[in-house]
Amino acid sequence: MSDYAHRPESAFVMPQIRQVPFNEPIRWLGEGWGDLRRVPLASVAYGVCFAVGGWAMAWVFSDAYPLFVVLLMGFLILGPALAMGTYDLSRRLERGETPRFRDTVTAWRPNLANIGILAAALGVLFLLWARASMMAFALFFDTGALPTFADILRAIFAFEQPKFAVIYLGVAGLFGALAYVVSVIALPMMLDRKVDAVNAALASMAACARNPAAMLVWAGCIVSLIVGSLFAGYVGLVVVMPWLGHASWHAYRGLTAKPDAAG
């Protein structure tokens, strides 16, 4: 069983945050890939859910690609909360169990209130990002309608509107970084231990503060793999999302020291 599975919430003690080398995320990815290979059917089942979600978004917003671009950022912000099942698969493997998909779909239930609070906070960040995006579109694209996806790409990558590119990417980076810092190990921790949302977020921030280089590399790995999968038609999400979910569990384990039995 997990270290805090039977302890009251008030007994939580902030875990010791380990200092790890900058290339430690490579090890997390390797361990995550190992978990995926050990439970391929359950892992890929979660990946299919992510891919179907991506296809559904693309279809619904096929005539409103600026909104779709906003939702892609939401995908990155809310991704950690949506990957709870993959964390549980890795946790069960760590215990020596042979997990099944159906055993993990309700992994959030033992700590529902606190997981829900952090998920709601990430949802608020996404809504703020969506509002900021719409304001940027209105300010820089004076067309009387939403810009096309091509307009946005030209504005950013061809520097047709450098001010828009700087502001839009800067705001996106701010919201993305905030979501990452407060959630990178918080959600696996809340699954593993009966931890409230505030303490879990503080532990996550402490991990980022103690390991800035490693956490920047880890963020780069996450963004690169997810964005690459999205631009590849979402098919890559079938493997990439469970892989990152398993790796995120190992990131949590690698960054936090287990407490003594006496706690």
pLDDT digits (tens, 9 = 90+) for 203-262: 999 999 999 999 999 999 998 998 888 777 778 889 999 999 999 999 999 999 775 533
Residue 131: inside a domain = yes
The pLDDT tens digits for 91-126 are 999 999 888 888 888 888 888 888 889 988 888 888
* pLDDT bucket at 180, cuts 50 / 70 / 90: very high
What is the rounded distance in angstroms from the CA atom of residue 116 to the CA atom of residue 70? 22
pLDDT on residue 108:
80
> In the chain, how many domains are there?
1
Residue 78 maps to a domain: yes
Alpha carbon distances (Å) from 219 to 12, 64, 146, 196: 27, 28, 30, 24
* Phi/psi of residue 256, nearest 5 degrees: -120, 140
pLDDT of residue 51: 85
Q: Name every residue whose Cβ is closer than 8 Å to that of residue 244 and which is 6 or more positions away in sequence.
A: 32, 79, 83, 222, 225, 226
Residues 6+ apart with CB under 8 A from 236: 225, 228, 229, 230
Q: Which two tokens stand for residue 18?
A: 């380990």
Residue 51 is assigned to a structural domain of this protein: yes
Provide the residue type at 95 as one letter. R
The amino acid at 74: G
Domain residues for the domain of 154 are: 33-255
Local structure of residue 161 (DSSP, 8 states): S
Lowest mean pLDDT among 77-86, 140-149, 160-169: 140-149
Is 58 within the bounds of a domain? yes
Find the range with the poorest average confidence among 9-13, 25-29, 249-253.
9-13
Helices (H), 141-236: 149-157, 162-183, 186-192, 197-210, 212-231
Is 5 inside any structural domain? no
21 falls within a domain: no
In a domain, 4, yes or no: no
- What torsion do the CA atoms of 180, 182, 186, 190 make, to the nearest 10 degrees? -130
**Does residue 117 sit within a domain?**
yes
CA within 13 Å, CB half, 222? 27
Residue 229 backbone phi and psi in degrees, to 5:
-65, -40
